[in-house]
Amino acid sequence: MELNGVFRSVCPLDCPDQCGLLLHKEDGRIVKVEGDPEHPVTKGNICNKVRNMAERIYDENRLKYPMRRIGAKGEGKFERISWDEAIATITSKWKTLIESDGPESILPYSFYGNMGLLNAEGMDRRFFHRMGASQLDRSICSSAGSVGYRYTMGGSYGVDPEDTIHSKLIIFWGINAASTNMHQVALAQKARKNNGAQIVVIDVHKNQTGRLADWFIPILPGTDSALALGIMHILFAENLVDSSFLHQYTVGYEELRGHVIQYDPFTVSEITGVPVDDIYKLARMYGTISPSFIRIGNGPQHHDNGGMFVRTVSCLPALTGQWLIKGGGAIKGNSGYLTTNTTKLQLPRLLKNKQTRVINMNLLGEALLTVDPPVKSLYVYSCNPAVVAPEGNKVRKGLERDDLFVVVHDLFLTETAKYADILLPATSSFENTDIYTSYWHHYMQIQQPVIEVYGESKSNVDVFRLLAKGMGYEESAFEDTEAEMIAQALNQPANPYLQGIDFETLVEKQFMKAAVRPLFPGKLRTPSRKIELYSKRMKANGYPPLPTYIPLVIDGEHPYQFIPAPNHNFLNSTFSNNQKHISLEKAPRLYMNSKDAKASGIKDGDQVRVWNQRGECLLKVSVGDNVLPGVVATQGLWADLEGTKQLVNTLTPDRIADMGGGATFFSGRVSVEKMK
């Protein structure tokens, strides 16, 4: 490995932009991380978080070797052991458990701390399939909305974001794109400069994204479907729909026309808090400006009615025929275009018992406390559930169980890692070989090792190889090299968009674009092969077949709807334990409307206790007008450093959303009181 030079790389974080990176190396160390100007979408610009990535890679607190817990669970006291001992301890415990309680007593728990395909959903899947462990439903992020979108559009297929520079109206709907999808903002700003495009932001919180809008529309949480239906009402009433598109490419527009009569602007205004005149103005803009593009965010989707929200809003571009126009349409997610061969990569055939139970990751607390037969061992990797999962107090109580054998594989001593019996050090993505597929743009990228492995750390792929050996699994699949696994994943004739993308060419080119064709004219993967404004499949599954506004579940008698969203300088809880990023973000705030503050005698800068039936948090208040009365918002998944009580997920519900087993982080209610 060369000690000096500039090396092409890819950002591994769970972020739609998936930037191309250049890593500058001196004497074997990364000294600078910058954007790769050659990358066609991200064009050399990256966020502040990753510009400071070297601070994280070489943070003195990074885990260097395997350890065994010597203190109480959660205390964070460990002693060094060898890899041999770690693997022997884990596998002998698991063999005993499989003997006594069966393999389903073991639960893997992971998400996308590193988006690399082999490390996030490759060798691990092979291993747990072979074991017959409980399966994890990975529903914490966007599954409700993905199911909702699929009912309307047939799969995760939207428009090419590169086309959105042609848009004249760009609606950021429930997405804090300035923090979470910065290159979509760059494209929108280019469209504003070149075409005079207008940027509209619909959000419950006027945050960084709201501040850059030409028009910011504040809305009450969980009511967005009603607003979308109100827009449809006006589009039909004022004949602003594209009849020929509706006729050719949709089913159910006549039913929809009748159905939306009930969503008149007065009714919708009552529900959403958006003034009647603004509903008219927005609908008329949407009905007359072309091309118009909607970026559908994750926010309104993290509600009880989140699936139906995405299902509803994704009907809008069909009404105006925008899918046919370059720069028009919508993006909820684009992961469909780069789907690889999971049958070959994950080997589901190794799972003999097809009835193996499935546990929803949003219900981790329940799974550890009440599920029967009980979970006796938890293996956590690429995820930090003690901070990111809802009903945080239940999760911690579960992790404290004496009879639960916990293994955590991470780069840092996260809040979750403090509960581990065995703690394993993970490599950073820059030490591994892997491939990356964006769920927003259409490029696949490759990572090859740029730096030597840090201390004794190992990649997920390597750890599962060792665990397989320790368990005595003899399938050759556990010996496949990274290059072989990549070739297997890319061999996917069922996905024509992957044509021409292979390991060797990726190595040569660093990034390759999927061979994507526009969605229309064309046929979708819905049962009718058209956009389903009316969905028989939804009806069969017990949902209203037409887009419908369903109010949030009443979550206790608390005065405020609580919106704990991500922040600018962390990536979920990643970076929440890196001093550089903490200092950039300073401290979490609770944003409160000045009317509410006045009524409860709270002043800007006051320390408050935010509480409900699930838990409490201590936060500093920021009084102003960036949330509506009755709403409080905060940003960031902060670690509970030295008992600061900043763990927002102690307050969030583990109710399951209407679709896809999704999370309802933003549907909780809280009370707020000033600290004495």
Ligand X SMILES: Nc1nc2c(c(=O)[nH]1)N[C@H]1C(S)=C(S)[C@@H](COP(=O)(O)OP(=O)(O)OC[C@H]3O[C@@H](n4cnc5c(=O)[nH]c(N)nc54)[C@H](O)[C@@H]3O)O[C@H]1N2
Residues 6+ apart with CB under 8 A from 219: 202, 203, 204, 227, 272, 273, 274, 628
Provide the minimum distance between the beta carbon of 636 and ligand SF4 in the complex, in angstroms, as a whole number.
Answer: 15
Residue 665 touches which member of ligand SF4, ligand X, Mo ion, none, C-beta under 5-8 Å by kind: ligand X
- CB 567, CB 619: distance < 8 Å: no
Which one of 8, 9, 11, 159 is in contact with ligand SF4 (CB under 6 A)?
11
Listed in sequence order, the DSSP H helices in 102-251 are 117-121, 123-131, 143-153, 177-180, 182-195, 208-211, 224-237, 243-249
CB neighbours (10 Å) of residue 455? 12
Nearer to ligand SF4, 12 or 470 (CB): 12
Q: Which SS3 state, helix, strand or coil, does residue 70 take?
A: coil
Task: Convert residues 363-402 into a mask of x (bound to ligand X by CB under 6 A) and - (unbound).
Answer: ------------------xxxx---x--------------
Task: Convert residues 109-148 into a mask of x (bound to Mo ion by CB under 5 A) and - (unbound).
Answer: --------------------------------x-------
Nearer to ligand SF4, 412 or 591 (CB): 412
**Cα separations in angstroms, 312 against 109, 237, 293:** 32, 18, 15
522-581 residues in contact with ligand SF4 (CB under 6 A) are 571
Which one of 7, 8, 9, 17 is in contact with ligand SF4 (CB under 6 A)?
17
Whole-number Å distance between alpha carbons of 431 and 448: 7
Provide the minimum distance between the beta carbon of 410 and ligand SF4 in the complex, in angstroms, as a whole number.
Answer: 18
Secondary-structure percent of the chain, ordered helix, strand, coil, rounded to 5:
35, 20, 45
Nearer to ligand X, 405 or 562 (CB): 562
Which one of 22, 23, 41, 46 is in contact with ligand SF4 (CB under 6 A)?
46
279: which strand partners? none
CB neighbours (10 Å) of residue 410? 22
Q: Which amino acid would we find at residue 551? A: P
Which one of 572, 578, 664, 671 is in contact with ligand X (CB under 6 A)?
572
- CB 202, CB 170: distance < 8 Å: no
Pick the piece of the chain touching ligand SF4 (CB under 6 A) from 7-15, 100-108, 190-198, 326-334: 7-15
- CB 340, CB 492: distance < 8 Å: yes
Provide the minimum distance between the beta carbon of 228 and ligand X in the complex, in angstroms, as a whole number.
Answer: 10
Q: Which amino acid would we find at residue 537? A: R
180-219 residues in contact with ligand SF4 (CB under 6 A) are 182
50 binds ligand SF4 (CB under 6 A): yes
CB-based burial, 168-182: b 16+ in 10 Å, e otherwise: bbbbbbbbbbbbbbb
Provide the minimum distance between the beta carbon of 15 and Mo ion in the complex, in angstroms, as a whole number.
Answer: 9
Task: Convert residues 653-672 into a mask of x (bound to ligand X by CB under 6 A) and - (unbound).
Answer: ------------xx------
- CB 220, CB 204: distance < 8 Å: yes
Q: What is the spatial order of strands in the sheet that 511-513 belongs to?
A: 434-437, 443-447, 511-513
Residue 165 touches which member of ligand SF4, Mo ion, ligand X, none, C-beta under 5-8 Å by kind: none
Which one of 111, 249, 443, 638 is in contact with ligand X (CB under 6 A)?
111
Residue bearing tokens 């995405």: 310
Nearer to ligand SF4, 182 or 246 (CB): 182
Residue showing the smallest CB distance to ligand X in the complex: 299
Which one of 304, 410, 482, 596 is in contact with ligand X (CB under 6 A)?
410
CB neighbours (10 Å) of residue 146? 23
Residues contributing to the site for ligand SF4 (CB under 6 A):
11, 13, 15, 17-19, 46-47, 49-50, 182, 571
Residues contributing to the site for ligand X (CB under 6 A):
14-15, 111-114, 119, 140-142, 174-176, 179-180, 202-205, 207, 219, 221-222, 224, 297-300, 302-303, 381-384, 388, 409-412, 414, 426, 460, 563-566, 568, 570-574, 633, 637, 648-649, 652, 665-666
